[in-house]
A = this chain, B = another copy of it.
Amino acid sequence: MEAPIQDLFTINNLWMMVSTLLIFIMHLGFATLEAGLTRAKNTVNILFKNTIIPAIGLLTYALVGFNLMYPGAEFAGSFFGFSGFGLSLPEGWDSSNYNAGYTYFTDFIFQAMFAATAATIVSGAVAERMKLGPFITFSLLYVGVCYPIVGMWKWGGGFLNTLETPFYDFAGSTIVHTVGGWAALVGAFLLGPRIGKYTPTGMKAIPGHNIPMATMGVFLLWFGWFGFNGGSVLSADPGTVSRVFVTTSLAASAGAIAALITSYIKFKTYDITMVLNGILAGLVGITAGADKMGVLDAVYIGAIGGILVVLGVIAFDKLKIDDPVGALAVHLVGGIWGTLAVGIFGELAGLNQLLSQFIGIAAVGAFCFGSSWLIFFTLKRTVGIRVDEKEEIEGLDINEHQMRAYPDFASKD
């Protein structure tokens, strides 16, 4: 009579593995989005970073991250735990008694794919002016150590999970997106703006060099988000996963339309980059509560996300924090908004929940801001984080990589 349970286990595990590969392809989404929204002369550099990050992320997560993030039940309610280096092989690989929903190795690979996304968010905000070596060093430490510590606070059973009203973050508006967002803020601030971006006579738009590639990036991210959010159900439960598909997709759609309208009002034109960022903001926004929202809740959350992303891009430019791809408006603003939205909309709405959401945002923010400042600042004072002026003007590709992304095409100037 155990066969049915076995079957359900196989189904659940299958969905988690499919989700894993969907999250994997988000790295291509980030790569193409970021490359598309920056200049041709820095394209190889962006692609290099986005290619090496998943590799580093997977290896460090196997070495320390997984055991920092899920140190075990004895660390429940705590701030930190570590259960040793490497993957602690359970008895045999067929560890169906590890968990009701998936094997030990499915758990690892699913979580490892998540981990790398946090560093990828940073990569866009520091684009076109950061040295490669220090960026890799930062990613190694941030993905390998900082992200899993924060992740443990909620998903590993840490203190945010044991608040009286537990902090809620379904798939990571705070735990993934603001984690990336805070580091992006610190990095963009400590680096300073790109040469020519803010001039005495005003802000100068530096257009992305390949809009089709950026568009592809957003579609691939939305595609992957079905696994990012859908897989966070941690089983193939039909009711919950299909609900998550619906809330995720409607929030993305509402984000697109709201950003279209907001940007049309602000700029009197149909700005595709705003629509693309509106989709992402809708997706980031719904991520914290995708399994707790109704249809209309999802539309509201996405639409507000789409408005905020346009205002956010404008605001960061006013603050002269140069973020070439809009990562701060999408992941930091969108992530905070989505986390708060769990206290405002849907099944968990309520003052106590809203308070817990604030606590979670603040705690994660303080740690991530502090730790990324520490790493970036140390790197700045030692090896330096910014390429020199000549290199920035000529482009990072020819200087850091001795090659061009498109050697057969004539450039504009």
Extra contacts besides A20-B245, A93-B243 (9): CB < 8 Å: A17-B241, A51-B215, A96-B238, A105-B245, A112-B249, A207-B407, A270-B401, A409-B409, A410-B412
What is the 8 Å Cβ interface bit string for chain A, positions 1-16, against chain B (1 contact, 0 not)?
Answer: 0011111111101110
Top 10 closest A-B pairs, CB basis?
A94-B239, A3-B4, A13-B238, A28-B219, A55-B253, A55-B256, A40-B408, A105-B242, A106-B242, A209-B408
- Residues from chain B with a CB closer than 8 A to the CB of A215 are 28, 31, 47, 50-51
Q: When the two chains form their complex, are residues B13 and A7 in contact, meaning their CB atoms are under 8 A apart?
A: no
Partner of A222 from the list B8, B24, B32, B275 (CB cut-off 8 Å) is B24
Instruction: Note all chain B residues with C-beta closer than 8 A to A172.
Output: none
Query: Are the C-beta atoms of B238 and A9 separated by less than 8 Å?
Result: yes
Q: What mask results when residues 194 to 211 of chain A are scored 1 for a CB within 8 Å of chain B, else 0?
A: 000000000000011111
Residues on the B chain within 8 Å of A13, using CB: 236, 238, 241-242
- Which of A56-64, A181-189, A376-384 forms part of the interface with chain B? A56-64
Main secondary structure of the interface of A (DSSP, over half): helix
Number of copies: 3
Q: Chain A residues in contact with chain B, CB under 8 A?
A: 3-11, 13-15, 17-18, 20-22, 24-25, 27-28, 31-32, 35, 39-41, 43-44, 47-48, 50-52, 54-56, 58-59, 62, 86-87, 89, 92-96, 102-106, 108-109, 112, 132, 207-213, 215-216, 218-220, 222-223, 226, 230, 236-243, 245-246, 249-250, 252-254, 256-257, 260, 269-272, 275-276, 279, 294-296, 299, 400-412
